[in-house]
Copies of this chain bind each other. A is one copy, B any other.
């Protein structure tokens, strides 16, 4: 598996092309990207739970899942959210223009937008750039991965080959994150492309399962941006299908792994982030509690600032667990291990050498393991520390 940063050439699966150009919405960097499949692909999508979903989200929801997707176009700089009927019309128009250039149906073109909420899409800049976008398409992910970035520092791509019973398939993942690692902070977009033959009936289930343990674990349910979307496109160009149960399991595992690597790359690239923080919760009475607890700790500003200060402040983690409605009895049983050091167990703080743990916290990846000893469910969430740079970025980023 070749993880990002996307400076390295990241191959696309067979039959896929991608490109990114600057159409002038943003001053310098690429702001308009396109993924093309040379044949109709099975498409699925998972979208934001925000009630004020952007025009492109409503549009894609109305189409997916679909047996015939040819392209995904993405513009950055304008979210096309809270733009009213005009925004819906602009979105429709954009799909129409791209379809015309690709000689396919508008319903075969998916759209994702990211950027500032409110402004209408600058159609006068987007539409004329479409021919160039198609012309420049290549078999690597780089230009597209750059075009979708907003405040991200690095493009995020992962690609892997997967040997199945009847041959080899490729899965390539591309995403953008930013904001804090918390999709209500900025839009998260993910693209999972494969040349495997995936049945339409299973595409959405595969995608949902992968997103739940990855992208959704760097977010908080019901608290996501107006534009969050993760897409799966499977064009079958490898001619290789998932023939056996083992093939299916391998494919699902690879999809999960790629999604998790992408999700982690979003967390570590969180605005102002200096550390990746991984919170593992086990021994939960149910999966919902495990997920809520793990995510709750990763989004706590007090925990995030403590991690930034390399301070083994386990009390802030315990308090957040209680705030996340972990069963009261867990307090008398749970254990909390930070960077391998046992800080709390059996309802009592454990003696530890603070200076030693502070040393361990200097690492760029922090692992906190919590065993609630109240059941058998577990979940892992990823976040980042909270630095002054985050405040700078979001104080200065203007409407």
Contacts and interface: CB of A to CB of B under 8 A. Distances in A.
Interface of A: 49-53, 79, 81-86, 116-119, 179-180, 184-186, 222-226, 300-302, 305-306, 308-309, 311-316, 318-328, 330-332, 344, 346-349, 354, 386-388, 390-392, 394-399
A30 to B, nearest CB: 23
A319 B395 contact: no
13 contacts: A51-B327, A51-B330, A82-B318, A82-B349, A118-B314, A118-B349, A119-B349, A184-B320, A301-B301, A301-B394, A305-B391, A311-B398, A387-B391
A301 B327 CA distance: 28
A87 B353 CA distance: 22
A86, A119, A399 — which one has the most chain B CB atoms within 10 A of its CB? A399
B309 A395 contact: yes
Given A117-B318, A309-B395, A319-B184, A51 B223 contact: no
Given A184-B302, A398-B311, A326 B51 contact: yes
Contact of A394 (B309, B326, B397): B309
The 3 closest A-B CB pairs, nearest first, are A52-B322, A117-B315, A309-B395
A66 to B, nearest CB: 23
A319 B387 CA distance: 23
As for how many copies of this chain the complex holds, the number is 2
A323 B223 contact: yes
B50 A81 contact: no
A331 B84 CA distance: 9
Given A300-B184, A311-B398, A349-B118, A319 B391 contact: no
A50, A83, A311, A331 — which one has the most chain B CB atoms within 10 A of its CB? A50
B51 A325 contact: yes
B349 A394 contact: no
Contacts of A349: 82-83, 118-119
A347 B86 CA distance: 10
Nearest to A222: B325
Contact of A53 (B51, B86, B322, B388): B322
A309 B286 CA distance: 42
Contacts of A84: 332, 346-348
Contacts of A387: 391
Contacts of A325: 51, 222
Given A226-B322, A311-B398, A319-B225, A51 B302 contact: no
A326 to B, nearest CB: 6
A322 B51 contact: yes
A365 to B, nearest CB: 18
